[in-house]
Amino acid sequence: MRRVDEARLRALEDREAIRNLIASYGPLADSGDAEAVARLWTGDGVYAVDGFPEACGHEAIAALITGPVHQTLMARGCAHVLGAPVIDLDGERASARCHSVVLAKAGEGWEAVRVAANRWELARTPEGWRVTRRDNALLDGREAARALLAR
Amino acid sequence: MRRVDEARLRALEDREAIRNLIASYGPLADSGDAEAVARLWTGDGVYAVDGFPEACGHEAIAALITGPVHQTLMARGCAHVLGAPVIDLDGERASARCHSVVLAKAGEGWEAVRVAANRWELARTPEGWRVTRRDNALLDGREAARALLAR
Amino acid sequence: MRRVDEARLRALEDREAIRNLIASYGPLADSGDAEAVARLWTGDGVYAVDGFPEACGHEAIAALITGPVHQTLMARGCAHVLGAPVIDLDGERASARCHSVVLAKAGEGWEAVRVAANRWELARTPEGWRVTRRDNALLDGREAARALLAR
């Protein structure tokens, strides 16, 4: 046993907080909690979802959840499942890359209606880690989506 | 470097143990290990799976794995894939929320035959963290399933 | 507050590093980064993918990414999504078990073209944790795949 570097413990806590933050997105989105989804981002955070106008700030991000596309999906039955993120910590900043899959009820089963690449930019704030930008692009063969997953 | 709060290390270990416990469910279920699946729960733990009678205790939970529905799925080829859980620690107790997706072989590919919301209640026991209750509800548009994912 | 066992912190860091290593596979594969995929393995590491000849060493593993099957999937649009791994640490070695799902663009949506069981063997190296062997078998009802997920 010896004294442990505070920085090592802090790095583990940071990664844990970031993982929990990203894991929160799907359950919050699928329970329709627009306010809590928005507050995963900083006040001037950006959520650039493929196929939608870029959403800047809490009000615009919340509107993606209260809007007709998401509400129709929820009524049909949906799951926003995120893959395990690769997290790169860099002091007070971090980035993460992962897949996202939206499954929606269709007949007896469910179908994958969106499969996307995601890159998250995050910052440590007085309230904890928050998303400053999330880019999302459908993995439909375009280079732009593949680039989001690149190291 | 300075002395590190034991509580911080303990919290990280708790979250890691809970994550590993939840991640164990799918591989154990899909390998047909009924006994090991059951022992993820406490002796009086409850597994309330949508569409099945509530299973209380190890024998009843193991019977879900040895029963005809699960055995038929295994023979067909199946994967019980769990999404990354959001974990809320509260001392000797914890809760977690995540998606679950059951994929089953169908023709040349696989189809999603169950997509569900899950809420886990957990407790620290002398043998480590165990599930005291898991509620599972299909995400088919009903409010009950969405409520399981709510903070 | 008291002195903390270095071993406990090290174990957490090891698990975090292994989780990040495994989570890297999908984003690197789907961005077509053959070299970085290969370097997740040790120099003499083995990747035994169901339906392909066993790949031994960096060159052979990279060839799985640059090869026609993977390149065709990428052009079509694909996601190699890995489930959360159950990790068993054993000093300088570790193993992990998880599901993998390959989703590919088909018509308006995506379909699951591969759903597999995976067992990873890992080793601590001077460059960090690396994969020494990954076995992958399709969950199509065969016992061999189920066995990879067994404890």
Q: Is C43 exposed, middle or buried (0-12, 13-18, 19+ CB in 10 A)?
A: exposed
This prediction's pTM: 0.96
Q: How many CA atoms lie within 13 Å of A140's alpha carbon, on the beta-carbon side? A: 12
Q: Is residue A119 part of a domain?
A: yes
**Which residue numbers in chain A have pLDDT < 50?**
1-2
Q: Is residue C137 part of a domain?
A: yes
| ipTM exceeding cut-off 0.90 for this assembly | yes
Q: Is residue B1 part of a domain?
A: no
Closest-CA distance of chain A to residue C50, Å: 22
CATH code for the domain of B22:
3.10.450.50
Q: Residue B84 has which token pair?
A: 């990354």
**Coil, helix or strand at residue A33:** coil
**Which residue numbers in chain C have pLDDT < 50?**
1-2
- Per-residue pLDDT at C3: 53
Q: Is residue A81 part of a domain?
A: yes
**Coil, helix or strand at residue C63:** helix
pLDDT (tens digit per residue) in B90-143: 999 999 999 999 999 999 999 999 999 999 999 999 999 999 999 999 999 999
Check CB contact under 8 Å for B150 and A81: no
Query: B138-141 long-range contacts, Cβ below 8 Å, gap at least 24?
Result: B138/A77, B138/B50, B138/B51, B138/B114, B139/A30, B139/A77, B139/A78, B139/A79, B139/A103, B139/A105, B139/A110, B139/B99, B139/B115, B140/A77, B140/A105, B141/A74, B141/A75, B141/A76, B141/A77, B141/A105
- Per-residue pLDDT at C124: 98
- Per-residue pLDDT at B3: 53
Residues of C in contact with A4 (CB under 8 A): 3-4, 6, 9
Q: Over range B66-87, report the average pLDDT.
A: 98
**Coil, helix or strand at residue B90:** strand
Q: Is residue C75 part of a domain?
A: yes
Q: What is d(CA B54, CA B42) in angstroms, rounded to the nearest whole number?
A: 15
Provide the residue range defining the domain that includes A31.
6-149
pLDDT at B2 over 60: no
CB A28 within 8 A of CB A40: yes
Q: Is residue C110 part of a domain?
A: yes
Residues of C in contact with B26 (CB under 8 A): 83, 99, 149
Tell me which H or E stretch contains A19.
helix A6-30
Check CB contact under 8 Å for B83 and A81: yes
- Per-residue pLDDT at B4: 55
Check CB contact under 8 Å for C31 and A146: yes
Counting the structural domains of chain B, the total is 1
Neighbours of chain C (3+ CB pairs under 8 A): A, B
Q: Is residue A109 part of a domain?
A: yes
Q: Is residue B110 part of a domain?
A: yes
Q: What is d(CA C107, CA C104) in angstroms, rounded to the nearest whole number?
A: 10
